[in-house]
Amino acid sequence: MSSTSSSVLRADQIWIDGKFVKWDEGHMHVMTHALHYGLGVFEGIRAYRTHDGRLAVFRLREHIQRLMDSAHICMLQMPFTIDEIMEACVELLRKQKDLFANGAYLRPIAFMGDGAMGLGAVNPTRVVVTAWDWGAYLGEKGMREGIRAKVSSFTRMHVNVNMVRGKISGQYVNSILAKREAVLGGYDEAILLDISGFVAEASGENIFMVNKKGIIKTPPLSSPILDGITRDTVLKLIRDSGRTVEEVTFTRDALYICNEIFFTGTAAEITPVREVDNRMVGDGKPGPLVQFVQDTYFRVVRGQEPRYADWLTYI
């Protein structure tokens, strides 16, 4: 059994450019272009232990399709097809089935490799898939009780600067700075505004809110936000329940006076927000909508909702 720390399990092998190698042999040259200039794309994907004891990857094809789309946006030529990368993910988990019996986090990444340097260089694309055991990104307590968030002094980049349909490695420096600022200030997460001052998203999650009239809102895809797969999942779950969601812009003070806020993301899953900028959200605990979304989401990923069975790829 291997680990990146005393408490985090990771795979014994890594898939690199079509071959499995030992974790400790997963090296890249220091002159890798992406290390210098940030030209890479990646995904975060979760596999869950289902109610019948099997392991299933959640929305694998959608994630790998987004990886390919991100690469296309960046003009990275992908040497593998969607099906080949999907199979790499499945095979990696198959090889580690005993280690990850309770679930795993997959990280496919594609990036410009070593060769020529400079901004105009075009080198072969390297593709890697790794996996490890990653619990609740914002903490188990945060999942249960809600987290504290801070509106960041850093702004989410304009849509003509930030390629918002791509999950691009270098663009996450903006998120890292916002996250560090929030954590150093004693908060759990940052909320970034767009250049017009409207709420965009958190450092690594999409955001939903419920106002005092019970209207559910989330920023639209015309905002500088990632088209989150968990966001899309939650939109469908809410709408399938007969509720309405408005995809509209809203201001930070709308968050201050709303009844509920929660974040969505593969890593964060469904995380309630109990406080924003030292202002309690609602009554300071997870509300009825986020409780419904959490319960339904985890039933879906654990294979307990047959109508969404096609979202699961069993190992």
| CA quadruple 299, 305, 310, 314: dihedral, nearest 10 | 60
β-sheet bridge partners, residue 272: 262
User: Given the structure tokens 């209207």, which residue do they identify?
Assistant: 215
Query: Residues 85, 129: contact at Cβ < 8 Å?
Result: yes
Sign of CA dihedral 97, 53, 82, 3: negative
Q: Which residues are catalytic?
A: 167
Query: Residues 100, 93: contact at Cβ < 8 Å?
Result: yes
Tokens read off for 57? 């990857």
Residues 6+ apart with CB under 8 A from 180: none
End-to-end CA distance of the chain: 20
d(CA 308, CA 62): 14
Tokens read off for 301? 């990923």
